[in-house]
Amino acid sequence: MKCPHCQAADLKVIESREAGDGDAIRRRRECLQCQHRFTTYERIERPPLAVLKKEGERELFDRRKLFVAIHRSVGKFFTSEVEIEEIVARVEDALYNCGENEILSRQIGDLVLEELARRNKVAYVRFASVYREFKSIDEFEQVLRQLRHT
Ligand SMILES: [Zn+2]
């Protein structure tokens, strides 16, 4: 995708939300070259992406679930949910760009770590300290759930 104003390819997603009946994503993007802002609507026509969990189970990739997991674990380190949306959007793009129709849940966690490392060191350390130990975002979620119930 290119900036409609200056044709630069350096774009930043500043807002991302579902539109219509949830079969499209509305994204506000900002050009890093000329600061021009524009909106895109992307039909969700992506093929289903299976996530293979550590225990061998499979489930469909769910961007909302990923948002909730990140928000719950490190949301307090960000001033805006838009930033978490951007992390989710970038992780999702990277997953689809790898061209596989099945991915490991660990890949998702590693991509999230990469994004956090670039944005917020405190959030990165917090996420890494728990996640790295468990090697799966599902186990990480389980631990968080247990912590809240004790
Ligand atoms: Zn531009």
At 26-41, the pLDDT tens digits run 889 999 999 999 988 7
As a dihedral over the C-alpha atoms of residue 7, residue 9, residue 13, residue 18, rounded to 10 degrees, the angle is: 80
Measured in angstroms, how far is the CA atom of residue 9 from the centroid of ligand 1? 8
Rounded Cα distance, 44 and 16, in Å = 13
Measured in angstroms, how far is the CA atom of residue 89 from the centroid of ligand 1? 20
69 touches 121 (CB < 8 A): no
- pLDDT band at residue 79, thresholds of 50, 70 and 90? confident
User: pTM, whole model, 2 decimals?
Assistant: 0.62
Measured in angstroms, how far is the CA atom of residue 34 from the centroid of ligand 1? 4
Measured in angstroms, how far is the CA atom of residue 38 from the centroid of ligand 1? 10
Measured in angstroms, how far is the CA atom of residue 85 from the centroid of ligand 1? 22
Mean pLDDT of the residues in the chain: 83
What 107-113 contacts at long range (C-beta under 8 Å, 24+ apart), as own/partner pairs, is 108/51, 108/61, 108/66, 108/137, 109/135, 109/136, 109/137, 109/140, 112/66, 112/70, 112/87, 112/137
CA 19 to the chain's CA centroid: 18
DSSP state of 101: S
Measured in angstroms, how far is the CA atom of residue 41 from the centroid of ligand 1? 18
Higher pLDDT, 112 or 82: 112
Rounded Cα distance, 69 and 87, in Å = 12
Q: What is the pLDDT of residues 52-62, one digit of tens each?
A: 987 788 999 98
As a whole number of Å, the CA-based R_g of the chain is: 16
